[in-house]
Chains A and B, each alone.
Chain A
Amino acid sequence: MAACMVKEPGLTGDVRRVQAMVGVQGTAHPRLVTPGEVISQDTSFMRGHGTYMEKGVQVASVAGYVTRVNRLITVTPLRQMYQGAVGDTVVGRITKVQTNRWKVDVNSRLDAELRLSNIQLPGGEQRRSNVEDERDMRALLTEGDLVCVEVQKICDDGLLRLAARNIKFGKLSQGTLLAVSPSLIVQDKQRMHDLPCGARVVFGANGYVYITPTVPQEQASTYIVNFEEVPVEVRKTIGRLKNCIKLLAHHSIMISPTSVMTAFDTSIEQEFEIKDLLKPDVMQDVALATVQSMNE
């Protein structure tokens, strides 16, 4: 099945071309619904997310596809805020410093909270936090800092409680942040990947992707940022990776270490300049090539 090579201007043009490549797979067509559409007249079904019951009829409340698991019907929208799952690794930005906790923006409907008792205090050994620690909270993490943390618990009202009890979690050092839709991030046990091109990428489950230069494993305290100058070659790699992830997100291709590396390698093979990767036609070419090579 060949993708048409006619240049079609307009917004839906590029999506249709990438879809033509993907259409080869021939996945089964699930049911797509829009808000207000009746899903089922059966009252014995349990209603999940994305639906509501009215006068004994189950109606969709979002635009998405219907999934049925036994007696539970849910509608999953294509774009959604990060809902949160216990054990997920997320990347967040500190918005407020309060008495014994920090408020973190994690691309969810409420800012999550990171308690002082849930982080690994500097000094290495495990100890209880005391009054001095509370006063020194700003020295550890202040407003605007980026952190990589784990979701510990989801409270009843949807508030996420975060923890950074491991050495691999904590404040993120030099690098660049990229926000994509959480539904595009592939489920993966390991979120931090050291890519062969010389950069480390953290794929936050909430859609925040952070790219940094590879750092050596040993780090006594994760709260001191290393401001040593990053060499130009590494900066270029990071820039290219960021543009690759951006173009994958633009064409709604799932983002995983494999797809990112494929796009990265394709862009080097076809000798695109890093800044060219921001142009719509180049983005389209690389996206098509990535989907093609992933199909093989």
Chain B
Amino acid sequence: MEVISPEGLRQDGRTALCLRDISCRLGLYERPNGSAYIEMGNTKVLAAVYGPREVRSLSKQNLDECVIQCEMSRIAACQGERVRRPRDQRTRALSLQIAGVFHAAIRKTKYPGSQIDIYVQVLQADGGVTSACINASTLALVHAGVELVDYVVSCTASINKSMPLLDVTQQESASGCEVTVSILPNKGSVVSLDCAHTLHLDHLDEVVDLAMKGCQQVYKAMSQEVETYLQDKHAIMSHR
């Protein structure tokens, strides 16, 4: 199976530099402080934020800034084959990575002595899972009203036979590599960079640049949804 057909189209009909369709929603649940859902093509992720609230275990309490914890899990039906354990070593590693990303974005000094919990659940995984998790968490944090330096936007990119690809699916990354980049779009700074499988050093620059461009497009879609949500909710709330 060719990743890119001779006409220049991929398996799902996109061109090499085309992003998948993004659809997102803010505020699905009432109990968590913030919640969001994002779909990037076939990858579907749900995120909920609890906090800032009192720390559960005093040993972890930091009196200068807040503690950020993340827990990621996958449902059994998220991939082609039934997932044995919703939480395993891989999800634990990804949870720590996601928490680490938000250390750069959340204004921690505003919440000393408190704890912010991010819970992410992957409903369907088709490549770009880490990206979708980070994007969903950002939206949930924005919904919760947690102070952020900027959005954290994430996107994947890859390379196939010297042809850079944007936003890869599971199938495409299995035969090549998957580079996940997270940036702060208004500052232009990279928050995290992760590569799955192997990538030649010569191709690194162009793949990362492509991913960063993709991130800006994702940011547009996400901020559009947040603005629509704000306008809807604000109109009602300003009515006494």
Contact with A along B166-202 (1 / 0, CB 8 A): 0000000000000000001111000000000000000
Range of interface residues on B (Cβ < 8 Å): 35 or more
| Residue A291, interface by CB 8 Å | yes
| Residue B1, interface by CB 8 Å | no
- The answer for the CA separation of A80 and B235 in the assembled complex, in Å, is 17
Which residue in B107, B226, B233 is a CB contact (below 8 Å) of A15? Answer: B233
Q: Does A63 contact B107, Cβ atoms closer than 8 Å?
A: no
Q: Does B237 contact A254, Cβ atoms closer than 8 Å?
A: yes
Q: Does B145 contact A80, Cβ atoms closer than 8 Å?
A: yes
Q: Does B114 contact A110, Cβ atoms closer than 8 Å?
A: yes
Q: How far is the CB of B47 from chain A (nearest CB, A)?
A: 15
Q: How far is the CB of A1 from chain B (nearest CB, A)?
A: 13
| Residue B59, interface by CB 8 Å | no
Q: Does B186 contact A79, Cβ atoms closer than 8 Å?
A: no
A-B contact count (CB 8 A): 123
Residues in B neighbouring A40, C-beta threshold 8 A: none
Most chain-B Cβ atoms within 10 A of its Cβ — which of A23, A110, A179, A183? A110
Contact with A along B211-232 (1 / 0, CB 8 A): 0000000000001001110111
| Residue B240, interface by CB 8 Å | yes
Most chain-A Cβ atoms within 10 A of its Cβ — which of B25, B145, B223, B240? B145
Q: How far is the CB of B190 from chain A (nearest CB, A)?
A: 15
Q: Does A37 contact B232, Cβ atoms closer than 8 Å?
A: no
Select from chain B the residue with minimum beta-carbon distance to A179.
Answer: B31
Q: A64-B230, A254-B240 are in contact. Are A19 and B235 (CB under 8 A)?
A: yes
Which residue in A30, A79, A251 is a CB contact (below 8 Å) of B143? Answer: A79
Q: How far is the CB of A179 from chain B (nearest CB, A)?
A: 8
| Residue A18, interface by CB 8 Å | yes
Which residue in A23, A52, A64 is a CB contact (below 8 Å) of B107? Answer: A52
Range of interface residues on A (Cβ < 8 Å): 35 or more
Select from chain A the residue with minimum beta-carbon distance to B223.
Answer: A34
Contact with B along A83-126 (1 / 0, CB 8 A): 00000000000010000000101000111000000000000000
Interface residues of B in 49-67 (CB under 8 A from A): 51-54, 63
Q: How far is the CB of A189 from chain B (nearest CB, A)?
A: 16
* Besides the known contacts A32-B231, A35-B151, 12 further A-B residue pairs in the complex with CB atoms under 8 A apart: A15-B236, A22-B236, A22-B239, A34-B142, A36-B150, A50-B147, A61-B149, A62-B145, A63-B230, A77-B145, A79-B34, A158-B112
Interchain residue pairs A-B with the least CB separation, the first 7: A77-B145, A36-B150, A36-B186, A109-B52, A61-B147, A35-B148, A109-B114
Residues of A participating in the B interface, judged by any CB pair closer than 8 Å: 11-12, 15-16, 18-19, 22-23, 25, 27, 30, 32, 34-38, 50, 52, 59, 61-65, 77-81, 95, 103, 105, 109-111, 157-158, 179, 183-184, 186, 249-254, 291
Interchain residue pairs with CB less than 8 A apart (20): A11-B28, A16-B232, A19-B232, A19-B236, A22-B235, A27-B238, A27-B239, A30-B234, A34-B230, A36-B151, A36-B187, A59-B186, A64-B230, A65-B234, A79-B144, A109-B54, A158-B112, A179-B31, A249-B30, A253-B236
